[in-house]
Every structure is written in structure tokens, then in C-alpha cells.
Amino acid sequence: MGKAKRSALGKGLDSMIPKKTTVVKQAEVSKKVEVDHVSRETLIKITDIEPSLGQPRKKFNEDALHELSESIKQHGILQPLLLKKEKKGYRIVAGERRWRAARLAGLSEVPAIIKDYSSQEIIEIALIENIQREDLNPIEEAFAYQNLIQEFHLKQDELAERVSKSRTAITNSMRLLKLCSKVREMVIEEMLSSGHARALIPITNAKQQETIAQKVFDEKLSVRETEKLVRKILSEQPEKPRKKEKDKNAIFYKDLENKIQEVIGTKVSIQKKSNKKGVISLEYYSEEELEHLIELLMSIQK
């Protein structure tokens, strides 16, 4: 079976602009070009440009902007901005960082390509540009995925195809949004890695989650150590009161859960159904734990 054809957006920004790109410096003379639906590179007044409304990146590193600004003073802008024509001026589709740095450098015009993009394309291109340059922090990336899914009614596998990511990567990214706001801020400030943060997700109490996150940061725990700490905390927490069971063997099933949990090292739940049937559930809190469980189960195969 042949591979599904990827969208041009999934292939990256190179497919959205002409192959030939020239270096344009402020001293060069430009002519006004009437914009239509055909892509063309031209110089646009920097005061006629507005930042993107769908920009997934919320924080711009000031030091990095000044470094780029100095580079632009020396070498000009090497890649044109992508813009969309609006009633008054232009809206940035991709290149907001270059635009900000150009303003710092004192440029009055910047090279740009104007095209007619849909609202979905604008958000996708901004997201892809930042992902390719690794400019987004994990929380910004997760919110960007959520925004695309909710606003344009996409499924996770459809979104994965659009941005050239695996569905697992999309799912793991969006799981970070389950964290409380203070722990999300710790991820943004690079106090916690994405791996550490995902290990904290099973802690549903926001205050407790924040306390454990601070402990992980203060004691410089590894991801493995964090997962172990979370398992220990969960095992010590009193379970939520269950509905009254008519089954007289409830204690027997609880004892079985504890015995299995001691063997495999993760939380186990046994739910008895009618006709002597039931379900055994094994919980895991990371891809590494899942792999460990699979290896353990495979090792008892005859």
C-alpha cells in the first residue's frame, strides 16, 4: 500500500515560498508592486505590517532578538516574511521574530511574500515555522495543537499529518495541558522537562502537584525518580469510596489487586462483572513504563 500524500504544509515552509530567495538590504531601492493572488517577493513598509493573531509563541527571548537584530544590520533579512493582505496593511503569517528584530534594527521596509491564506493555513504555518526552529516551549506547542483541533474540528491523526508529527507526539504534547497552571509555568521557565511534567499528570490535586514539582526541581530528580515518587504517593493515597458491592468476594479481589501490584510494580484494578467475568486494568504513567509492562508480560509467555 502506498504512503498517503502529505500536505504541502507538512513538508515544511520551503514548499510555501519560491526556490530563489535574494538577500535584501535596507539600502536597496524598491518599487511598489500591486498585490494579487500570485506569490511574489517585494519590499513592504514595516509600519504597514501587523503581528499574527494566531502566533503560538507567547514569549520572545529579548537577547536572541537583539542578536538577530545585529545580524540583520550586517547581512539583511535572508528569508522573506510571509504576509496576508488585509483591508488595511498586512498580517504576518510567518516571520514575526524577523519582523520584530527588523524594527529593532531600524529598518523601514522588509522583504515579504504576499499570499491569500485561509485562517487554518495561517495557524498551521505559524506552528510549523516555530516547530522547525524549535522556538516554542512545550506548553505553547500543546496549546497550539489544541487550538487547531478545536477551531477546525481536526482529529489528532489529521493534525499529526498536517504538521509531520506522530500521533503519539501530539497526544503526549497535549497531555501537558492537564497540569495545573503553576506547574505549566515551571515547564515554560525550563524548571521542569516535558518528561518530568508528564510524570506528574496522575497527581490530580493542583496544590499537591505543585508541591511535588517543586520537590523534583529542588532535589534535581531524574524522570525515573519522579515516576517512582509519583507511584509511591498514589499508592499511599486512600482510594475514593466505592459504591456498595453486593459481591461477598470484594475483599478477595482487593487482595488479588495488591498481590499483582507487588509483582508488576504499578496500580492494578480488578472489576468483576456478571457470569464470572471481569476486567483487569494495569496503569502506566509513561511510555517507558508501558514498555516495561509489555516486556514483563512477554517474559511469562510459554
Just list the catalytic residues.
Answer: 96
CA 127 → CA 13, 146, 149, 151, 234, distances in Å? 10, 12, 13, 14, 36
DSSP string, 45-102: EGGGEE--TT-------HHHHHHHHHHHHHH-BSSPEEEEE-SSSEEEEE-HHHHHHH
The rounded Cα 189 to chain-centroid distance in angstroms is 15
CA 155 → CA 72, 100, 148, 167, 173, distances in Å? 40, 34, 9, 10, 15
Phi, psi of 7 (to 5 degrees): -65, 155
